[in-house]
A and B are shown apart, each in its own frame.
Chain A
Amino acid sequence: MVHHATSTERLNATFAALADPTRRAILARLAAGETSVSELAAPFKMSLPAVSKHLKVLERAGLIARGREAQWRPCRLAAGPLKDAAEWIEHYRQFWEQSFDRLDEYLRELQIKEKGNGRNK
């Protein structure tokens, strides 16, 4: 259960990092393969320091990893936290989809019964 709090915090950090469209675009770009900061900055009308700031947020959330080579410092996607986020959504998707299947069946049953009983609240 102690574990639970930390994983929740991690999930929050992941989603906070994903809440920004530039950061999502950066991740989408990195999904195609590792690359340098200047290459990442190219499609955005943004200074290198501004892009670096976004990269720091992503790095803190554990969504990307950066090489240690001083000059180039290539960025690449780290899959773990994204998987947790996807699992969170998948977990609730299943929860609701299965509930709705049951609701659908129940509503049918209920209406057949009502017809059988004539007028009934």
Chain B
Amino acid sequence: MDATSSAVTQSSDRELVITRIFDAPRSLVFKAWIKPEHLARWWGPRDFELVSCEVDARPGGSYRFHMRGPSGSDHWPQGVFREVAEPERLVMTWRWADAQGRPKDPETILTVTFEDLNGQTKLTLHHGGFESVNARDEHHNGWSSALDCLSEYLVDTSRR
């Protein structure tokens, strides 16, 4: 991945943290997150197509994406912006919905921060929240070593 680097940590229960450095100025990386014409070019896993997207990027504004997977399956992530602090920080709710916009799973929280590194941009994404927001904030430590033991265990178990 040449100039980019990426790191993943699971810092607590049901929370995913990913950091990535992009070789682009912060203002541009931020815009890539809120402008439909940009989003259409990168949003979603490889081979997924962004069929449509509506984005009202201001606090209280909503977004809704229509994604189509390589096998033709349709997906609709949607939510509401809680914070839009250009070019530093975005906070939004996130949940999967059906074609009519009816939620299919519990709401989660997406927090994206953009840090200027001399012209490059360090992006940090937190995906978490859930029912246990408070519990999560209290229990940031001690998770990774337990997770290590557990994943070793799971690998062993699935081999049996």
Contact = CB atoms under 8 A, between A and B. Distances in A.
Contacts of B41: 102, 106
Interface in B1-52: 1, 4, 6, 8, 10, 12-14, 16, 18, 20, 22-24, 28-29, 32, 38, 41-46
B150 interface: yes
B23 A108 contact: yes
Interface string A58-78: 000000000000000000010
Interface of B: 1, 4, 6, 8, 10, 12-14, 16, 18, 20, 22-24, 28-29, 32, 38, 41-46, 104-106, 123, 125, 127, 130-132, 135-136, 139, 141-143, 145-146, 149-154, 157-158
Q: Give the interface size class of chain A.
A: 35 or more
A24 B44 contact: no
A96 B106 contact: no
B43 A104 contact: no
B125 to A, nearest CB: 6
A82 B29 CA distance: 35
Contacts of B149: 27-28, 31-32
B18 A18 contact: no
Question: Chain A contact residues: over half helix, strand or loop, or mixed?
Answer: helix
B16 A110 contact: no
A28 B146 contact: yes
Q: Which among A12, A88, A94 has the highest number of chain B CB atoms within 10 Å?
A: A12
